[in-house]
Amino acid sequence: MSVKSTFICVLVLLLMSVAPLFADDEALPVATGTIFTFWPFVDYRESPREGYSNLAILGPLFKWQHKGDDRDFAVRPLFYSTANSRNDSASVEYLYPIAFSETRPDVTTLQVLKLFKKNIYRKDEGDAQERSSMLFPFYISGESRKYGPYTSVFPFYGDIYERFWRDEYHYVLFPLYGRTVNKGTTTRNYLYPFFATISGDKESGFQFWPLYGQASKEGVYSRRFALWPFLLKEQTGLNTDNPTRRLHILPLYAAVDSPQRTARFYLWPFFGHTTDNVKKEEAWNYFWPFWRTVRGEQRNVTSILPFYYDEHTKETSTRWYMWPLYKHEEINSEQFRQERDRLLYFLYSDNRESWPNADGERRRTALWPLFVFNRDIRGVKSITLPAPVEPMLNRDGIERNWAPFWRLYQQKWNDQGDSAVSFLWNLYWHEARGNALACEFFPLLSYHREEQLTEFRLLKGLIGYRNSGENRRLTLFWLPFGITWAKTAQYPAAAAGTVAGGEP
């Protein structure tokens, strides 16, 4: 027999070893289904009643999952793709967090490291589209509804409209020349940031940074500086009900005066006093940020860092002890409650959340780098270990793309006794629901029990036994057939008593 023929025969025998199971790699088992494993190459699980199937190849490397309207496909860590047929949406993470793409009915987005971004917007009028692209800061293009299309090729030439907090940007050979327009104010920069002029309706100004600059708009504001940032004097909000005056002679003195807020600082920012008439509170800095107090109707703060920090509001409280050793946080409202304890930031964290009106709660406890424990709002608990990243970065992208590689042990369970365990990417696993149980320690032993069915196999079918209630079957040497016999007949109690010599 050739090597190819031998391989085909072995593969056929392996496929014949499929055993029924209820399984779900995302939650506790929920319905009767099918499983086939050949660790670490293949792990296939299916639950038709739930519309669920999952195929894993080479442990966490390859994944294909179908769950209701969702489809997931992954080649970790290169990419992870998710699609939802009901919402007509899809997303792909490429070597997370390097690149990400998303498609929805109204827009398609591609983003790379927050630097390159491309959007295609689909309008309601037929097949019309709007496009914008950005390789920040070198290339930016798009279309403004008000100004039309624009393009920027930094640092040579660019026009940008309604982006980056301004109505218009224009530049040539930046920083040689640039012009911005925002709410009617035009600022021209020459050899940015050194020389600039400001113009607008009843508005003018100039600067020779950092030596001197001034600007004003009649009835709105006036400001000037010298030897920036040491000397500054300005008046703002003159056309509002909160005109504000600022004077900075840093680091000796700083003052702010307005109907809403008054502040004085000496040897800024170390010593100062602030009165906030809107928040109705007063703050004293005795040696900021180490010694500080705030007293008010809505908030009270006492800070003597690194020894102690306490902040209270109507619904929240925060305490530090021996910063950054221990921190306790609370949120208490009618709709939501939260308590969180932390040791050394992320070394240990325990977060408890509850919704009193909805009678729901959840919890997350993490000890870096050992484990993460979760209890979701359904009452399903889980523990995974080790956890070298999750205590520091609790991100869905980490969960999907990276965590499966280092999670040697995972367990999920609930208060009804249902549980699921996986060790070393299903080298050993067990799943239980009610009176049903299935487990495997590859390739030595597999066991499956549910109502009127018991089955176990040694060495993936070298020896197999199946008890289906009325029938028994014994199989040997991975053969798809075996010895079958019926269950021994039970005699009536009277007949049994007569045979044994007892009273009928």
Nearest to 21 by CA among 45, 40, 55, 43: 45
131 CB neighbour count, 10 Å cutoff: 13
pLDDT tens digit sequence for 225-246: 999 999 999 999 999 999 999 9
Model confidence band, residue 375 (pLDDT cutoffs 50, 70, 90): very high
Q: How many CB atoms lie within 10 A of CB 394?
A: 15
Q: Which of 129-143, 330-344, 374-388 has the lowest mean pLDDT?
A: 129-143
Give the whole-angstrom CA distance, residue 103 versus residue 110: 9
> What is the tally of helices (H) and strands (E) in the chain?
4, 47
* Vertex 145 angle, CA 141 and 147, to 5°: 70
- % of the chain at pLDDT higher than 90: 69
The conformation of residue 356, written as its DSSP 8-state character, comes to T
Given a cut of 50, whether residue 316 has pLDDT beyond it is yes
pTM: 0.79
pLDDT at residue 128 in the model: 60
* Residue 424 confidence class, pLDDT cut points 50, 70, 90: very high
Tokens of 10: 């072995």
The mean pLDDT value of the chain amounts to 87
User: Helix, strand, coil shares of the chain as percentages rounded to 5?
Assistant: 5, 55, 40
Q: What angle do CA 255, 258, 264 make, to 5 degrees?
A: 20
pLDDT over 70 percentage in the chain: 89
Q: How confident is the model at residue 130 (pLDDT cuts 50, 70, 90)?
A: confident
Helix (H, G, I), strand (E, B) or coil at 26: coil
Res. 376: pLDDT tops 70: yes
- The pLDDT value recorded for residue 195 is 97
At 114, the pLDDT band (50, 70, 90 cuts) reads confident
Q: What's the pLDDT at 492?
A: 46
State yes or no: pLDDT of 73 exceeds 90: yes
Q: Give pLDDT, residue 433.
A: 86
CA 492 centroid distance within chain: 65
Residue with tokens 């039970």, as numbered in its chain:
490
Respond yes or no on whether the N-terminal peptide bond of residue 504 is cis (omega within 30° of 0): no
Interval 430-482: pLDDT, tens: 999 888 899 999 999 999 888 888 899 999 889 998 888 788 889 898 888 88
Rounded Cα gap, residues 196 and 208, in angstroms: 7
Neighbours of 408 (CB within 10 A): 13
Buried b (16+ CB within 10 A) or exposed e, 323-353: eeeebebbeeeeeebebbbbeeebebbbbbb
The yes-or-no verdict on residue 214 having pLDDT over 70 is yes
Q: Compute the average pLDDT of residues 295-302.
A: 95
End-to-end CA, the chain: 65
Sorting pLDDT into bands at 50, 70 and 90, what band is 5?
A: very low
229's tokens = 């940032």
**How far is the CA of 110 from the CAs of 115, 119, 151, in angstroms?**
11, 7, 18
Quick check: 88 pLDDT over 60?
yes
